[in-house]
Amino acid sequence: MTNQRLISVVIPAYNEADNIPVIAASIREVFAGLPNYTFEIIFVADGCTDSTMAVLEMMAKHSDHIFHIEFSRNFGHQQAVKAGMDHARGAGVICMDGDMQHPPELIPELIQRWEEGHEVVYTIRNEDKRLPFKKRITSKLFYQVLNRMASVELDQGASDFRLLDRKVVDVFKEFHENEPFLRGLVKWIGFKQYAVSYDPAERFSGSSKYTFKKMVGLALQGVTSFSIKPLYNVVYLGFVFSGISVLYLPYVLYAFTFGHEVSGWASIIMTIAFFGGLQLIILGIIGIYLGKMFMQVKLRPNYIVRSTNIKS
Ligand code: UDP
Ligand code: MG
């Protein structure tokens, strides 16, 4: 058949040597049932320290569908996905995790919705009852904080499993953000969008690379790369506290006139500690934005490719 449309599947991989053959096999199986499409799988090895690269090179030798991009070091999940999209050649580009948590069986539905004319088909993960309570709570908190603080409405459980039309991928290629937050950007970018929900599977092998610390980092990065709302909120906070301190003024005058002014050591210390902390947080927020500008003005490449078998 000559009229097959090419679908690219981009998979970021950070030490996923055990998972890669499994996910490649199941993607191949899915496309065996889709005769109108052909596929390429682009694995982006994000500074792996295990045998991921050896596995990839071996697999590429035996298949025309397997491609790999190796980073010079770990640049993070978001940059890995971005690199895969930059190199993808398909009419549609699917991004998914390499640990089988994004079910490949969903691919036919993504493609079907895409063929119906939706340029962005993203997925929403149903809550996974098996996950530890802590992970579920942090994940919920993540979306709530993000929606409150950033000027973008992310669906609860929006995941990094999605299909983008060539048009959208080409727009993404023009993005040179130092710290892209793809989930937010995809929503922000517009076009005709469609949401598909799915039940996440368990990680096939290995453990999550997202620690609690990385989650907090991603949330902070998500908010600050999306809006300057926190800066405004900080100004409002300043107003509120100035207002409150004005209310305190009559008491100060009263205490002064009647000679009680030496009492109140505890309240002074508490106020100093509280405002000291508040000021540090506010300075930190301003610092994050400043840091982002600092990194961005350098115009460094966002990721560095050490090797690839993709010929451009
Ligand atoms: N990943 C990556 N670089 C990193 C961390 C993760 O490329 O620094 C990849 C990882 O190999 C996986 C995907 O990003 O394919 C999602 O990571 P993980 O499964 O650890 O996240 P979780 O499912 O726990 O959110
Ligand atoms: Mg995972």
- The strand pairing partners of 8, in sequence order, are 40, 93
What is the pLDDT at residue 54? 94
Cα 292 to averaged position of ligand 2 atoms, centre (Å): 27
The DSSP secondary-structure symbol of 200 reads P
Ligand 2 center–CA 205 separation, angstroms: 10
Q: Is the CB of 193 under 6 A from ligand 1?
A: no
- The response to whether residue 303 sits with its C-beta less than 6 Å from ligand 1 reads no
Compute the average pLDDT of residues 148-175: 86
Q: Rounded to whole angstroms, how far apart are CA atoms 133 and 212? A: 13
Percent of the chain topping pLDDT 90: 46
What is the CATH code of the structural domain delimited by 5-211+300-308?
3.90.550.10
What is the tens place of the pLDDT at every residue in 222-247?
Answer: 778 777 778 878 888 888 888 887 78
What pLDDT, on a 0 to 100 scale, did the predictor assign at position 261? 60
CA dihedral 151, 154, 159, 164 (to 10 degrees): -80
Q: Is 165 near ligand 1, meaning CB less than 6 Å away?
A: no
- The pLDDT value recorded for residue 2 is 61
pLDDT of residue 181: 83
CA-CA distance, 43 to 53, in Å (whole number)?
A: 10
Q: 107 CB contacts (<8 Å, ≥6 apart)?
A: 9, 27, 30, 31, 34, 94
The dihedral through the CA atoms of 44, 50, 54, 58 has a sign that is: negative
The pLDDT tens digits for 176-192 are 888 788 888 888 888 99
Tens of pLDDT along 108-154?
Answer: 999 999 999 999 999 988 877 777 777 778 777 777 777 777 767 77
Give the separation between CA 65 and CA 160, rounded to whole angstroms.
Answer: 22
Which of the residue ranges 94-103, 143-152, 197-206, 249-258 has the most confident prediction, judged by mean pLDDT?
A: 94-103
Ligand 1 contact, 84 CB (< 6 A): no
E-only strand ranges, the chain: 5-13, 37-45, 66-71, 92-95, 120-125, 158-165, 193-198, 305-308
Residue of minimum CA distance from atom 3 in ligand 1: 77
Residue 200 Cα to ligand 2 midpoint, Å, equals 9
The finding on whether 77 has its CB within 6 A of some atom of ligand 1 is: yes
Q: Is 76 in the pocket of ligand 1 (CB under 6 A)?
A: yes
User: Is the C-beta atom of 98 inside 6 A of ligand 1?
Assistant: yes
- The residue whose CA is least distant from atom 16 of ligand 1 is 97
Other Cβ atoms within 10 Å of 205 Cβ, number: 13
Residue 157 has pLDDT above 70, yes or no: yes
CA of 56 to the centre of ligand 2 (A): 19
Count H helices and E strands in the chain, helices first. 10, 8
DSSP SS3 for 109: helix
3-state secondary structure of 175: coil
Span from the CA of 236 to the centroid of ligand 1 (angstroms): 37
